[in-house]
Amino acid sequence: MGNAGESWDDEYDVVVAGSGAGAMAGALTAASGGLRTAVLEKTGVLGGTSAYSGSAIWLPGTRVQERAGIGDSAESARTYLRALIGDGTAAHREAFLETAPELVEFLEQDPAIEFEFQPFPDYYDAPGRMDMGRSFVPLPLPAERLGERAGLVRPPVDRDRAGRGHAASKPLVQGRALIGRLLLAISATGNGEVRTGTALTDLVVEDGRVTGVVATTADGPVRLRARRGVLLAAGGFESSAELRGERAVPGGAGWTMAPDGANTGDAITAATAIGAATGLLDQAWFCPGVLTPDGLPAFTLGFRGGLIVDGAGRRFANESLPYDQMGRRLAAAEGPFHLVFDARSKGLPAISVPPVALEEQVASGRWIEAGSLAELAAKTGLPADALAATVERFNGLAAKGVDEDFHRGEDPYDLFFTGGKPGLAPVDEPPYYAAEIVLSDLGTKGGLRTDPDARVLDGSDRPIPGLYAAGNTSASFTGPVYPGPGIPIGSAMAFAYRAVQDMRR
Ligand code: FAD
């Protein structure tokens, strides 16, 4: 804990730790309302995993869905969330639903911010579901609008991992557009200051109230006062092998999709040190991943061909399941897991971030190529008889066009990536391939317990004055469920907005 009574290096109304979508939305809310605001970012660039993301935003019943004429409403979203999550977090759900339209109206009032609906089905067959989804994305952002500040936004995954910046003369898209647009809007207020290379380590408490933070910088520690409040939106602890191990989060720190080393739970640790309560600590937004030549994962979704087998060479799930559900099946089964496909299907998923190329994967030895299934089994260590039987059974189902075992292709989500076909092509044309599949994630989703105004709670369920949390720093109100595309970012933004509204009261 930072010592009370020492002098401050800088004074703000609001200090935000982290610079993902929630942090930046919170900072904009504060700065545009006239509050002097600091965004502290541990790394050299802004945006974290949010910048890597597809930036689908699940905020239901807003003017964006109204413009698209898709018939979405807060009521149908309530029905859907309630069916999936129950009423255990009803107060958060209601706060989220009430905030969504107001937040989007607030954001779109800014000349830097504009959204459009993007079809992407909700993830569960439940009442209130929208088959083409209800999420939206920011419009691409021409790099010239950011000028030199474009370098402040974290580049796409493949370029970032290679130490490269944004591609010249291309607009920023997806998560980069979202962070870039929020950065433009914050800059235009004249009240927001972005401090990169500044990592929150401690919270300062005076008379029971959080009044500021201590952060490390290249020039040593700084103490920053936050007159109205501190918003912790610094991601989860997905990149900490130690914390993952302690809290038994399936997967691994080396397999997370978060930027290398960024999200190590610092904000959660700082808050628990002053008595904050935590929840859902073994949970993450899971996904299947394939390992790329550099050993890092690629987030994969929308398998259009092939089948996934466990260590015993058996299928164990509908390969087309929404990625978090597939991740949970991986966590419950025994690996190693392989996507087995053939020359015809090419096996490549519809979306892979970063993109993967068959030839490169095979050349690097990450994916195995073989002239027969028996050879594939020998090269991968899979039991040959079981693999042959599984593929034979799968090919029979493919011939019928019906997956009697796992119902692949029966849900609108499955069909979304396969042009309306069930994605059941037979695997019988050599060469055969095996791609190892690992349990990856898009971040942990357990963390600080909050009330519906994002106020961090102590062990007795009382808000800790001056302290707020959003995004993966907080325990998600969705529990172990991933309802639809854009829930992580949508909920992060909604609760960050509510946090700042509360600070202003
Ligand atoms: P982050 O966005 O990771 O931001 C946390 C930031 O805090 C980082 O910049 C980090 O460096 C910084 N930080 C960490 N510690 C400190 C500290 N001590 N002090 C200061 N700063 C600190 N979700 C969606 O909703 N829609 C999508 O379309 C979507 N697509 C995705 C696609 C990909 C490829 C990936 C990888 C994820 C996707 N997700 C999507 C998931 C989503 O991006 C994340 O779960 C979400 O963005 C996490 O937001 P956050 O603010 O909690 O963390």
- Closest by CA to 414, choosing from 326, 284, 298, 481, is 326
Average pLDDT of the chain to the nearest whole number:
96
Residue 250 has pLDDT above 90, yes or no: yes
Which residue from 50, 55, 222 has its CB within 8 A of the most atoms of ligand 1, so it is best to mutate? 50
Dihedral of CA atoms 185, 189, 195, 196 in degrees, nearest 10, equals 10
> What mean pLDDT is predicted for residues 168-196?
97
User: Could you read off the pLDDT of 258-272 as tens digits, one per residue?
Assistant: 999 899 999 999 999
pLDDT (0 to 100) of residue 1 = 61
- Ligand 1 touching residue 199 (CB < 6 A): yes
- Ligand 1 touching residue 118 (CB < 6 A): no
The band of 466, judged by pLDDT with boundaries at 50, 70 and 90, is very high
The band of 347, judged by pLDDT with boundaries at 50, 70 and 90, is low
Complex ipTM: 1.00
Which residue type, as a one-letter code, is found at position 474?
S
Backbone angle region of 257, left / alpha / beta, with phi > 0 → left and psi within -120 to 50 → alpha? alpha
Residue 319 has pLDDT above 80, yes or no: yes
> What mean pLDDT is predicted for residues 241-261?
97
CA of 156 to the centre of ligand 1 (A): 13
Q: pTM of the prediction?
A: 0.98
Distance CA 104, CA 108 (A): 6
Read off the DSSP letter of residue 156: P
CA of 376 to the centre of ligand 1 (A): 37
Instruction: Give the ligand 1 atom nearest the CA of 51.
Output: 2
Which residue from 19, 52, 53 has its CB within 8 A of the most atoms of ligand 1, so it is best to mutate? 53
pLDDT (0 to 100) of residue 131 = 84
CA of 160 to the centre of ligand 1 (A): 14
CA of 258 to the centre of ligand 1 (A): 7
> What mean pLDDT is predicted for residues 35-53?
98
CA of 233 to the centre of ligand 1 (A): 9
pLDDT (0 to 100) of residue 349 = 82
Closest-CA residue, ligand 1 atom 47, reads 50
- Ligand 1 touching residue 138 (CB < 6 A): no
pLDDT (0 to 100) of residue 304 = 86
Distance CA 185, CA 103 (A): 14
Residues 231-247 as b/e (b if ≥16 CB within 10 A, e otherwise) read: bbbbbbbbbbeebbeeb
Instruction: Give the ligand 1 atom nearest the CA of 47.
Output: 9
- Ligand 1 touching residue 474 (CB < 6 A): no
Closest-CA residue, ligand 1 atom 25, reads 486
User: Could you read off the pLDDT of 149-163 as tens digits, one per residue?
Assistant: 999 999 999 999 999
- Ligand 1 touching residue 477 (CB < 6 A): no
